[in-house]
Structure 1
Amino acid sequence: MTTALPLLETPGRSLELPDRAREGLATTPFGLYVHVPFCATRCGYCDFNTYTADELGPGASRAEYAGTAIAELHRAAATLGPDLPTVATVFVGGGTPTLLPAEDLAAVLATIRDLFPVAADVEVTTEANPETVTPAVLARLREAGFTRISLGMQSAAEHVLAVLDRRHTPGRAVEAAREAHGAGFAHVNLDLIYGTPGETDADWAASLGAVLDAPVDHVSAYALIVEEGTRLARRIHRGELPMPDDDVLADRYEQADATLRAAGFEWYEVSNWARGEAARCRHNELYWTGANWWGVGPGAHSHVGGLRWWNVKHPAAHAGRLLRGESPAQDAELLDDADRALETVMLGLRLREGLPLTALSAAGRARAAEAVVRGLLEPGAHAAGRAVLTDRGRLLADAVVRELTG
């Protein structure tokens, strides 16, 4: 019995950059994102555009995926040219990129270098699940030019990993981080999730302690979000597991921040900490600062000069369009000035540097002054003309954004 997901194809469309989107193309920071949509199993909390082998169905092949990604890279270069932007960052995400052979990932990166001008200090990241890498794989990725790796750890507690449907054993993520460091990766990140049903204070403290035992210079910590349609959501709706508690989530965040700061990490985005500026994820900073990027792969999103578009989601539809010489874009929108101003506030306020008060409307500036009085924005920064979240403000970041943009 097959469990392949239905392929809902939509008519192909062409993608051309309007003159407005090309303005500043050569001078605006630019990155490439490559989405690898494959996973060995589906984690219970995940609603990303990923597929297990049983879900793929005909017309989508992991073995042929590197060729599909390379075909889209050629389309990207043709669309962005003739004056191509310099690639400052490359991020290979998923899914589980390291389910592909290291040689395939190396071939994708080599194609990028063949097609685009690439910065001498380019940051090249791959995500990886700890159980899918070995010292030999890591050495080959480093040899190919990958400079950064982000490993999905989530927790050091076995029962927490079980609730999340994670396959790796406790300790494997830290071991993989050590292997990556030994292979020559200067920048290693571990991802954590807090607030999983059944997680105790001691479990979270142990997870943070395990991270600090690893040779990492970057940590991402995210509150568990229960997404509708996931296995975790169904278990909670059936009463098998409790919903994450907001007060517990706040306590976990404060504990993470205090622990990481004491160990020499500083927050630079609400959910991300780094050992100094050089350890920050420059690719993610492109997203947060409204720069340009091209997303390769099924379901990948792109943004160039205010034009945003997204690809068809199913790998077979994506591959089929490229095989027929069509754009894989499903739809696009051209952001107006108001849209871009709103996104500047929504994303910029989450950063350690905050944003200038001039980015806010008159009403937003008045509310910012009120937020200072309530302890949500730093008074010193406000006096200097910037809106910067306080420690308490970070706990309520989404609410502060709504206030300043409402």
Structure 2
Amino acid sequence: MPSALPEGEAVPVDGALPAQTATSLSTRQFGIYLHVPFCRVRCGYCDFNTYTLAELGPHGAGVSSYADAALAELALARDVIERTGAALPEVSTVFVGGGTPTMLAATDLARMLSGVRDTFGLRPDAEVTTEANPDTITPQVAETLAAGGFTRVSLGMQSSVPHVLQVLERTHDPAGVARAVRAVRDAGMQVSLDLIYGTPGETHDDWRRSIDDAIALAPDHLSAYALVVEEGTKLAAQVRRGQVRMPDDDDEANKYELAETALAAAGFEWYEISNWSRTSSGRCRHNESYWRGDNWWGIGPGAHSHVGGVRWWNVKHPAGYAQRVLTGQSPGAGRELLTPAQTYDETVLLGVRVAEGLPLTHLDDIGRAAIPALVADGLLDQSAAVAPAPAARLTLRGRLLADTVVRRLLGW
């Protein structure tokens, strides 16, 4: 089952934001996240807010009507922002995630993007990404996406080894990844590949094969995430029953180091712990905006938003979501106004994950006092800590122990 929403205060029926958010809207970048909650099957490891068509039945925001519900929330977002007194922000990045966004017709994805453009305007250099399963991308789909304004496609490759994909319950044929990459490339869009390591039964040779196969496809960007067993998922139940083994921390650390070595040799540079790109233009700017604490509006059931220190999240079920937005109500299920302490903690948590590091000027006395010991322990780069613009920058070992670094910087 998808994970539970956090608790928070009630969201006004009209979605109204506090007046103080207007300043942030005029000074920080603004992105749109569009959540498409449909999947052909739910993978056993996934706790995202996704639903198969059989689970949804005939009610709610189905595949055929989903774009209309998303466009209704875009209209609400425009009205809410206008009521703060701020000028409508031009959108810098759009990311369509899921689920499997390409369960929708490519024309519907293009129509939602057109709604973003008509509602807020897109910057001329806007980055526009959709996630996709490899088996949902054809040359026609790719051409429709590109013609609609998409600039990137992030393909869920996960592994190129059949028995690993079987454990993950991924349904695509590994050979189909190359066909999807070719279709995206031929349509003139950038390619990103997502990989997962640490799957039960995955050997080091399996992981090396997946990395090598991904590199051979020459993507612009690659993400590699350690498998996490989330409570409430089918995989968690399998681990609990002893059917599969819990991923091993040391095994995952070794596989991360293998990925870094192979990717660096192939000309990729890490720019965030789990993300690599060949060039600076290949980075995912939408995710960078999250890590900087910029503003974004999350459209769709279960989507999260952040504007000017206010964070909120939508109701999870597509039927309840559609009922609200199509009657002009906010789909927000709860929200919180971030305190200065929360904002600081998140600045440290996210800032140390990026290759540029967290400027030491962003740290309080506790954080700055922790730097020498972290350098001595080989977790932070000594040269970066004493540079003209000193920063807390992770070493490779620090990337493997990033949670420890964050705790020590925050004095926990």
Bin of the TM-score, shorter chain as denominator length: over 0.9
TM-score, structure 2 as length reference: 0.94
1:299 alignment partner, one of 294, 298, 302: 302
**1:141 match:** 145
Q: Which residue of 2 aligns with 1:44?
A: 44
| TM-aligned CA deviation for residue 125 of structure 1 | 0.2
Instruction: Tell me which of 246, 257, 265 is aligned to 1:243.
Output: 246
One of 151, 157, 170 as aligned partner of 1:153:
157
Q: CA deviation at 1:77?
A: 1.0
Aligned AA (2:112): V
User: How far apart are 1:356 and its partner, in Å?
Assistant: 1.2
The alpha carbon displacement at 1:279 in A equals: 0.4
Count of paired positions: 397
- Correspondence 1:216 to 2:219: yes
Q: What is the identity, as a one-letter code, of the residue corresponding to 2:304?
A: H
Shift of 1:12: 7.2
Given the alignment of the two structures, is residue 108 of structure 1 paired with residue 112 of structure 2, yes or no?
A: yes
The 1-side partners of 2:116 and 2:15 are apart by 20
Query: 1:180 maps to what in 2?
Result: 184
1:12 and 1:29 map into 2 onto residues whose CA distance is 25
TM-score by length of 1: 0.96
Q: Secondary structure at the match of 1:19?
A: coil
Matched, 1:402 2:407: yes
Q: Distance in 2 between matches of 1:331 and 1:17?
A: 13
Deviations 1:94-152 (A, max 9, x none): 00000000110111111111111211000000000011111100011001100001000
CA–CA separation in structure 1 for the residues paired with 2:257 and 2:68: 45
Structure 2, unaligned runs of 5 or more: 2-9
Aligned to 1:380: 383
> CA contact under 8 A between 1:157 and 1:203: conserved in structure 2?
yes
- 2:27 is paired with a residue whose SS is coil
Q: After superposition, where does 1:327-406 map in structure 2 within 5 Å?
A: 327-384=330-387, 385-405=390-410, 406=412
For residues 370-395 of structure 1, the C-alpha deviation after alignment (integer angstroms, 9 at most, x for no partner) is: 10000000001111221000011000
For each residue in 1:127-185, what CA deviation from the matched residue of structure 2 results, as whole angstroms up to 9, or x when unmatched?
Answer: 00011111100011001100001000000000000000000012222321122111111
Residue in structure 2 matched with residue 6 of structure 1 by the alignment: none
Are the equivalent residues in 2 in contact too, given 1:181–1:215 (CA < 8 A)?
no
CA contact (8 A) 1:155 1:161 kept: yes
Distance 2:333 2:66 in 1: 19
Amino acid at match of 2:405: V
Matches of 1:34 and 1:90, distance apart in 2: 8
Q: What does residue 76 of structure 1 align with?
A: 77
Q: 1:215 deviation in Å?
A: 3.2
Any conservation in 2 of the 1:368–1:387 contact (CA below 8 Å)?
yes
CA RMSD of aligned residues (A): 1.4
User: SS at 1:192's partner residue?
Assistant: strand
Per-residue deviation, residues 338-384 of structure 1 (Å, max 9, x unmatched): 11111100001000011111222212211122100000000011112
